[in-house]
Structure 1
Amino acid sequence: MLQRMSGVFIGALFGTVFVVANAHEPLNPAIGIALRVLAVLTFAGLLTLALRAGRRGGPAPDDAEAPQADWFRGRFAFVVGAEAVLLVGGNLALRAAGAPEQTAVAWIALIVGLHFIALMAVWKRRSIVVPGATLTALGAIGLGMAATSAVVWVPFVSGVLSGVALLGGCAYAITATYRSTARP
Structure 2
Amino acid sequence: MSAGTRGRPSGLVIGSLVAISFGTVFVLVNSGGLDAPWPLVLRVAGLLVAVLLLVTLFRVAGRETSAPQREAAGFMDRRYWLVVALEAVALLGGLSVINNVLDRPAVAVAWVAVVVGVHFFGLAHVWWMPLYRWLGAVMAALGLAGFVVHALGAGAGTVGLISGVGCGAALFAAVALALRDAVRRAAA
Runs of 4+ residues over 6 Å off in structure 1: none
Contact 1:100–1:146 (Cα < 8 Å) also in 2 = no
Structure 1 unaligned residues grouped into runs of 5+: none
Residue from 45, 61, 74 that aligns with 2:52: 45
Residue from 16, 22, 29 that aligns with 2:36: 29
Q: Which residue of 2 aligns with 1:71?
A: 74
Q: What is the TM-score with the length of structure 1 in the denominator? A: 0.87
Q: What is the TM-score with the length of structure 2 in the denominator? A: 0.85
User: Deviation of residue 133 (structure 1)?
Assistant: 0.3
Distance 1:104 1:128, change over 3 A: same
Q: Deviations over 1:129-184 (max 9, x none)?
A: 111101101111212333331133111111011111111111111232244445x8
SS of corresponding position for 2:154: helix
1:123 aligns with 2:127: yes
Q: Which residue of 2 aligns with 1:158?
A: 163
| Worse-matched range after superposition: 136-145 or 101-110 | 136-145
Distance 1:68 1:136, change over 3 A: farther
Q: Which residue of 1 aligns with 2:13?
A: 5
User: Deviation of residue 80 (structure 1)?
Assistant: 0.6
Counterparts of 1:67 and 1:34 in 2: how far apart (Å)?
42
1:111 aligns with 2:115: yes
Residue from 76, 86, 89 that aligns with 2:90: 86
- How many residue pairs get aligned? The number is 178
Counterparts of 1:144 and 1:77 in 2: how far apart (Å)?
31
Distance 1:68 1:28, change over 3 A: farther
Query: CA RMSD for the aligned pairs?
Result: 2.1
User: Deviation of residue 91 (structure 1)?
Assistant: 0.2
Structure 2 unaligned residues grouped into runs of 5+: 1-8
